[in-house]
Amino acid sequence: MYPVTARWMIGVIPAVMPIYLAAQTLGLPLSYRPLMSGFSAALDAGGDRGGFRTIGLTGIVALGHMTADGQRMALFNLSGTVARVSGESGAASTSVGAELSLLGSFAVGVNRSRWAGVTRTYIPLAAALPLVGCGDANHLLFFYGVPVWNFERLEPPTGAAWQRSWGSVNLGALFELKSGLGFQLGVAGLFQRPTPDPYRRVVIGAGVHFSPHGILAAATAASAAPAAPDQNRWRCSVAL
């Protein structure tokens, strides 16, 4: 198995590696899950300054594949999240979500939750943007942004109705090891007008994920270049 070259780590990966989005559920940011093939699992926790708290478990499966610059990557990613949500008054509920992404970068999701006696259906349309990537042969650090257009349907006892759609932005950072173990930090709900609606809050989330087919493992398998003398030196690249 050949070492990861500087070209793969900093040049090719930010250019062709899509940002695999995982399903967003109530109280959690959209997260970067670097799944090249196979499956991945993640555990996340999130909340806001008002006492809103969420713990979610996510599973992701890669479907189909394509090849870019010799690198095999998933054509579609299907993810699902189950979360436990609690709030300021001590009320708690369960939220479930699913998301389908094309090349990891363009995604549509659906989330169902019940909060304050109202059932809510939330649909995010997202486009993920890698911003800056840094790394060496054994570590990878990414910063990313996710502009989102949001749709929500409320189902109170008096009758269901769609709400006015709105835009927002997620920002996050990912750190991943060659083993496939990774960590994320993210913030959701930026550049929007906060309201009492639980989906229109600024929330901060942190999580851990694992995949046997992470970015570094896939890049190592794809690279057939001889060992680079500076392969363990950190380098950075602007992806956009």
1 within some domain: no
Q: What's the confidence (pLDDT) of residue 207?
A: 92
Q: What's the confidence (pLDDT) of residue 43?
A: 93
Number of structural domains found in the chain: 1
**Which CA distances in Å does 101 have to 19, 25, 104, 109?**
10, 15, 5, 8
The CATH number of whichever domain residue 93 belongs to comes to: 2.40.128
Most confident of 71-80, 85-94, 138-147: 138-147
C-alpha 172/C-alpha 184 separation (Å) is: 7
Coil, strand or helix at 240: coil
**Of 50-59, 106-115, 220-229, minimum mean pLDDT range:** 220-229
Concatenate the DSSP letters of all residues of 114-128 into one string: EETTEEEEEEEEEE-
Residue 231 pLDDT greater than 70, yes or no = no
* Domain with 148 in it: 6-238
Environment class of 97 (CB within 10 Å of its CB; exposed 0-12, middle 13-18, buried 19+): buried
Q: CA 86, 149, 44: angle at the middle one, nearest 5?
A: 35
Sign, Cα dihedral of 133, 134, 139, 144: negative
**Of 87-91, 126-130, 179-183, 202-206, minimum mean pLDDT range:** 87-91
219 within some domain: yes
CB 154 within 8 A of CB 195: no
Q: Return the structure tokens found at 164.
A: 């006015």
Residue 10 pLDDT greater than 50, yes or no = no
C-alpha 101/C-alpha 91 separation (Å) is: 32
Which residues are CB-neighbours of 14 under 8 A, at least 6 positions away?
130, 132, 133, 142, 237, 238, 239
Band (185; pLDDT cuts 50, 70, 90): very high
49 within some domain: yes
Q: What's the confidence (pLDDT) of residue 201?
A: 85
Q: What's the confidence (pLDDT) of residue 132?
A: 87
Which residues are CB-neighbours of 71 under 8 A, at least 6 positions away?
12, 16, 17, 36, 218, 219, 222
Higher pLDDT, 92 or 182: 182
Q: What's the confidence (pLDDT) of residue 37?
A: 77
C-alpha 206/C-alpha 193 separation (Å) is: 23
Provide φ and ψ at 9, rounded to 5°: -65, -45
132-158: per-residue pLDDT in tens?
888 887 888 889 898 999 999 999 888
Q: What's the confidence (pLDDT) of residue 121?
A: 94
218 within some domain: yes
Residue 2 pLDDT greater than 70, yes or no = no
Q: What's the confidence (pLDDT) of residue 229?
A: 54
Residue 4 pLDDT greater than 50, yes or no = no
Of 105, 134, 107, the residue nearest 239 (C-alpha): 134
11 within some domain: yes
DSSP β-bridge partners for residue 153:
121, 162
14-39: per-residue pLDDT in tens?
444 444 565 567 788 877 666 777 88
